Chains A and B, each alone.
Chain A
Amino acid sequence: MPISATDLENAIRAAIPVVHLEIEDTSNGCGENYEVFVVSPAFEGKNTLARHRFINEVLKDQIAQMHAFSQKTLTPKQYEAQLAQQTAS
């Protein structure tokens, strides 16, 4: 059974408060490859490795069925800074 973006979204939203979430199916629809971008205050004070481990654990069952999985995890502060930078450039 292919993994849907909704599966991933539900699992993430159930685990942590989410400020911004982007889930991109990079597999052309077969549900094998996903890129996830999560902005959450839950990442505050955690380094990238800890954040990724956390998301890996939340999506453990889904990731096991995928071919490729890529993630980006930011705190709301980092996300704002990134948006500001993008508008500036």
Chain B
Amino acid sequence: MFRTALRSSFTALRAPARVPAVALGSSPSLPFAVARRYISQEVRAKIQKAVESTPVVLFMKGTPEAPQCGFSRAAVQVLDIHGVPPEKLKTFDVLEDSELRQSIKEFSDWPTIPQLYVNGEFVGGCDILLNMHQSGELDQLLVKNGVILPEEAQKEEA
């Protein structure tokens, strides 16, 4: 996977440079295509591994039990409402790790915390999460990614 990403980044470099250098790397799964390279490849690889380690990964301020910011609290609550099982959720406290706090912003190309990943894909921050919660898209996304069961199945199980 590492090699593929590397190769695609070289292809991207060779392509006619009509896109401005600051073009947003819209796909976090292709970290090497992101034009900004302030964080080291080592840190990048570490975060990539982290976001793929569990189906649902949340970068937040504080812990689910003691969130240190209203936005992070909201994110945790939304995941809880949707019944994301604890074994499928991993949270990282960026206040505990100042390097992570800076590098995650660059990794995701996203300026704020919290940040949610599902199956290695960046979903968004608090606003997006709340939006998707209200519209029902979050439920769909979690079901589609096998994080939670569809509502009917949940009822049967209960």
Complex: how many Å from CA A64 to CA B123?
Answer: 21
Query: Is A77 close to B, CB under 8 A?
Result: no
**A64–B112 Cα gap in the complex (Å)?**
9
Assess whether A63 is in contact with B111, with CB atoms less than 8 Å apart: yes
Contact-size category for B: 10 to 19
Contact B127 A70 (CB under 8 A): yes
B24 close to A (CB within 8 Å): yes
A48-B131, A53-B110, A56-B109 known; 5 other A-B pairs, CB under 8 Å? A50-B26, A52-B128, A68-B71, A68-B112, A69-B112
Decide: A53 and B26 in contact? CB cutoff 8 A. Answer: yes
- Whether the pair B126, A48 counts as a contact (CB closer than 8 A) is no
- Tier of interface size on chain A: 10 to 19
Given contacts A48-B131, A60-B111, A68-B112, whether A53 and B123 have CB atoms under 8 Å apart is no
Q: Which residues of A come within 8 Å of B, CB atoms?
A: 48-50, 52-53, 56-57, 60, 63-64, 68-72
Interface residues as binary, B6-26 with A (CB distance below 8 Å gives 1, 0 otherwise): 000000000000000010101
CB distance from A23 to the nearest CB of B (A): 15
Is the Cβ of B124 less than 8 Å from the Cβ of A48?
yes
Is there an interface contact between B123 and A49, defined as CB atoms closer than 8 Å? yes
Q: B124: which of A49, A60, A64, A70 is its contact (CB, 8 Å)?
A: A49
B126-A70 in contact (CB<8A): yes
Closest-by-CB residue of A relative to B128 is: A48
The smallest C-beta distance from A42 to any residue of chain B, in angstroms, reads 15
Q: Is the CB of B125 within 8 A of A57?
A: no
Cα of A34 to Cα of B111 in the assembled complex, Å: 14
Known A49-B124, A70-B127: A56·B71 in contact at CB below 8 Å = no
